[in-house]
């Protein structure tokens, strides 16, 4: 069971907007930065968002991150079939003194 | 261009020791601030952080594996080595070498290796 909670699956139509949630606690999301990763089948994860809301160079502005209290959200607008795959949130757990990840959300673009 | 490449024996018998090497290029392990480490993923399951070694040679290990895991580095070869003892079939999975931005604990992993599938079986 993961320290961070993510819904197992989400689906939406091409062109639509989807939001993926990541729920934690005071010692995780509540007092640390959140990052988001996208993993295509058979590939390594790729960083999408760091420091809650910043995008690395080359990441499309369709991806945006936010944080409020002990939860974080990844929003994807203008959905494309290439956005399908698994999305993971990650952060530091100040109590465990460890990096922790969510269980992942599988996004299907119908 | 920053790349990370994992190498090592990928079939391990139960109770044996796993040794994996991550060869880094495009940056130096001693650059401030940089951290390199490992994340693993059992088949069909979520990511699990294993540990990190920082630019100043400090190490951080995941609590569940800290008694079995050792990270070292060879700065002359720009490599990070993972040694995990007493392997068990539940340790089967893809092991990724990762580079963290390293500014603080839990900083994002901005580069990932392609991963190597480790199988623990007799």
Q: Is A104–B60 a contact, with Cβ atoms under 8 angstroms apart? A: no
Residue B33 is predicted with a pLDDT of: 87
Give the integer Cα–Cα distance in Å for B43 and A107. 18
- Residues of chain A in contact with residue B105, where contact means CB-CB under 8 angstroms, are 32, 92, 97, 99
Q: Is A104–B48 a contact, with Cβ atoms under 8 angstroms apart? A: no
Better-predicted residue by pLDDT, B24 or B63: B24
Would you say B20 and B8 are in contact if contact means Cβ atoms under 8 Å apart? yes
pLDDT digits (tens, 9 = 90+) for B32-45: 889 999 999 999 99
Residue B12 is predicted with a pLDDT of: 97
* B105 pLDDT above the threshold of 90: no
CB atoms within 10 A of CB A105: 20
Residue B66 is predicted with a pLDDT of: 85
């Amino acid at each position: 069971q993961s320290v961070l909670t993510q819904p197992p699956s989400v689906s939406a139509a091409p062109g639509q907007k989807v939001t993926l949630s990541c729920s934690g606690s005071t010692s995780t999301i509540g007092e640390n930065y959140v990052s988001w990763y996208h993993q295509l089948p058979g590939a390594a994860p790729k960083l999408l968002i760091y420091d809650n809301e910043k995008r690395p160079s080359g990441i499309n502005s369709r991806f945006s991150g936010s944080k409020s209290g002990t939860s974080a959200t990844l929003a994807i607008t203008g959905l494309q079939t290439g956005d399908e795959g698994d999305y993971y949130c990650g952060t530091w757990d100040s109590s465990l003194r460890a990096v922790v990840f969510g269980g992942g959300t599988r996004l299907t673009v119908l | 261009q920053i790349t990370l490449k994992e190498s090592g024996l990928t079939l391990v018998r139960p109770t044996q020791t796993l040794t994996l090497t991550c060869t880094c290029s495009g940056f130096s392990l001693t650059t401030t601030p940089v951290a390199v480490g490992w994340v693993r993923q059992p088949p069909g399951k979520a990511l699990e952080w294993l540990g990190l070694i920082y630019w100043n040679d400090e190490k951080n290990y995941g609590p569940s594996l800290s008694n079995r895991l050792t990270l070292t580095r060879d700065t002359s070869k720009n490599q990070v080595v993972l040694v995990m003892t007493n392997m068990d079939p539940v340790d089967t999975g893809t092991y990724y070498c990762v580079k963290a931005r390293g500014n603080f604990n839990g900083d994002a992993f901005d580069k990932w290796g392609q991963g190597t599938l480790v199988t623990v079986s007799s």
